[in-house]
Structure 1
Amino acid sequence: MKYWNLKKINKSTLEKVGPIPRSITKTFERFKKELDPNAEAEAIEEFKVSRYQTVTSIKYLLLLITGPILINQLSKNFIFGPCVDYFWDKNQFNIFLNSSQEERAFEELEQFEEKLYFEQLIGTKVETSSEVTEKQIKHKALEIAEEYSSESASAIKNILSDSFSVAAFIAFIVGGKRQISILNSFLNELIYGLSDTAKAFLIILGTDIFVGFHSSHGWEVIIEAILRHFGFPESRDFIFIFISTFPVMLDTVFKYWIFRYLNRVSPSAVATYKNMNE
């Protein structure tokens, strides 16, 4: 039974896009099956195949999502974290990994000094001697140094643990070829089984989020967060070059997918998308 299920699923997975829209062919196939005397038995068999496909796909999808996350957190907290903290404290590395951290730290200390001076000028804080003020600034500088030292150590932990989780994710992909084919078939049926309005809505939502005219600000925030996560310098030139090239390539991929696949499988969805997008 399981071999038959897998064979049927793989057959639907490898099904090529034909010149006739799939919705029309499915209508004729369904009408033909309803006239078949063995339709009830085949319906039960198809239900078992569909249930097996759905359960297997959800389990494997959860494994691909939760597996690398758990491995990342466990390796970071119990393997790489203690090792990095030990060597970082023992060898007393530099506080900053890059110039961006230095700029942010100096800016934060400068704002603190200006805040103290401003509060003394407007009378919200009792004017103190220069020695007391210097002690306050020194205390703040030590806090900033400790904060950025922890950030630098955390960036090294992130690089090691994320590399470990990526390797685990690749291992899951390589070791689950059968599950990948089942998942691919499940996602194809899920996506192409949506209504034309739902397909058009999802396409518009995806294109507006990732390649819309206002998406550049979101990409800027994401790239800055990624660079800070791994301890890389937050180069404005690199960020601007990325924003000016990657969304354009992504938009090209969207349009190619619409023209190459969706236009053949569901031309009515493409027409709905064009009408909604105008």
Structure 2
Amino acid sequence: MTKQAIEQTGLIPRSIIRTFDRFRIQLLSGTEKLVIQEFRISRYQVLVSVKCLLSLIILPILINCLLKNFLVLPLTTNFWNTHQQQIFLNSDQQNRAFIELSQFEEKIYFEFLLDSFNKNPAFNNSLSSSNEASISNQAKNKSPLKTLYSDKYALNKLIREDIQRKTSELAVFYNQESIIALTNLFGDVITFIIIGFLIIWMKPQIIILQSFLTESIYSLSDTTKSFLLILGTDLLVGFHSPRGWEIFLELILQHFGFPENEDFIFLFVATFPVLLDTVFKYWIFRYLNQISPSTVATYHSMIE
């Protein structure tokens, strides 16, 4: 007969039974040895949990940085610059480069017009003068517009030189961005594989860490646990969460060099939070309601 993972609820609350058990143990002989042993076990559990938690956080970050900087990045740079003729990794990079180049060209043209107007005060005087005689006298002279259009060759030369320089800068920038995206992809895949082996190797320590975290969470008050539940649900499936999921997906796609498909992002935002909310409500009803009914009652009271 298998032992049930969840204790059955009786007439007497379990907290009262545990209190009487502790009181009974303290009355027996050898209580000091039990207290010392419990203290040693608790200290060992804390030390192992902290060491395991730091290892799971620091080691993956350190391994990821070392892999990317000293192994994956040189190999990716050599492969991309020698075996690939293209600069852009996806169409989104090409569109962003085209928009940036177009805006740069418009900026140059606008600045050239402003500079030409400032260098021809006769044009400003003709706009501010209300005397028809002065306007007719200025018409006999060389028109500032003709002077402006006479600099068309200089404008084309200036735009051509600046655009060539800007194009070279964009090519270098997006080529490096493509290399970094590929480096992130391969480096993160290798890092996740190493983390998998690390979890298998540290399985006993992870079990102790899980027990320590579970005990720490259950030792919190019902109000604190309800507050953490509300905070987590509002962040993940709350009213403002869709925008957060969109930003998160955009950052992930840019990090790995994938094109930012709006249809995929909208479909994910429309379905995944709903699925997550359903799973969360089922977990509250199926498990948390049996483990800690007071927490569930406090949670419902706070959200109402």
Q: TM above 0.5, one fold?
A: yes
* 8 Å CA contact 2:92, 2:260 repeated in 1: yes
- Residue 206 in 1 paired to residue 235 in 2? no
- Residue 159 in 1 paired to residue 185 in 2? yes
Shift of 1:91: 2.8
Shift of 1:15: 8.3
CA distance in 2, matches of 1:125, 1:209: 54
Q: Counterpart in 1 of 2:299?
A: 273
Q: Counterpart in 2 of 1:106?
A: 98
Post-superposition Cα deviations, 1:151-185, rounded to whole Å, max 9, x if no partner, equal 10111111111011101110011112211211111
Aligned pairs for 1:23-38 (under 5 A) are 23-38=15-30
CA distance in 2, matches of 1:203, 1:178: 28
Q: Counterpart in 1 of 2:245?
A: 219
Indicate how the Cα distance of structure 1 residues 68 and 257 shifts in structure 2: closer, same or farther if over 3 A, else same. Answer: same
Larger-Rg structure:
2
Give the alignment partner of residue 6 of structure 2, picking from 17, 20, 36.
17
Q: TM-score, normalised by structure 1?
A: 0.88
- Residue 81 in 1 paired to residue 107 in 2? no
* 8 Å CA contact 1:76, 1:158 repeated in 2: yes
Shift of 1:143: 0.9
CA distance in 1, matches of 2:210, 2:201: 15
Give the alignment partner of residue 233 of structure 1, picking from 259, 265, 277.
259
Q: Counterpart in 2 of 1:90?
A: 82
Q: Counterpart in 2 of 1:64?
A: 56
Shift of 1:22: 5.2
Post-superposition Cα deviations, 1:103-133, rounded to whole Å, max 9, x if no partner, equal 1111111121222233344559988621112
CA distance in 1, matches of 2:188, 2:208: 27
Post-superposition Cα deviations, 1:64-122, rounded to whole Å, max 9, x if no partner, equal 11111111110111111111112222234311111111111111111212222333445
Percent identical residues? 52
Q: Helix, strand or coil for the counterpart of 2:258? A: coil
- Unpaired runs of 5+ in structure 2? 120-150
Indicate how the Cα distance of structure 1 residues 59 and 135 shifts in structure 2: closer, same or farther if over 3 A, else same. Answer: same
* 8 Å CA contact 2:89, 2:257 repeated in 1: yes
Shift of 1:263: 1.4
Aligned-CA RMSD value: 2.1
Give the alignment partner of residue 129 of structure 1, picking from 155, 160, 163.
155
Letter paired with 1:162 = D
Shift of 1:200: 0.6
Shift of 1:61: 1.4
Query: Alignment length, in residue pairs?
Result: 265
- Unpaired runs of 5+ in structure 1? 1-13
* 8 Å CA contact 2:101, 2:167 repeated in 1: yes
Letter paired with 1:116 = I
Letter paired with 1:241 = L
Q: Counterpart in 1 of 2:269?
A: 243
* 8 Å CA contact 2:6, 2:291 repeated in 1: yes
* 8 Å CA contact 1:159, 1:230 repeated in 2: yes
Give the alignment partner of residue 109 of structure 2, picking from 107, 114, 117.
117
* 8 Å CA contact 2:64, 2:191 repeated in 1: yes
* 8 Å CA contact 2:109, 2:159 repeated in 1: no
CA distance in 2, matches of 1:74, 1:23: 50
Give the alignment partner of residue 179 of structure 1, picking from 184, 200, 205.
205
Aligned pairs for 1:253-268 (under 5 A) are 253-268=279-294
CA distance in 1, matches of 2:226, 2:55: 30
Q: Helix, strand or coil for the counterpart of 1:17? A: coil
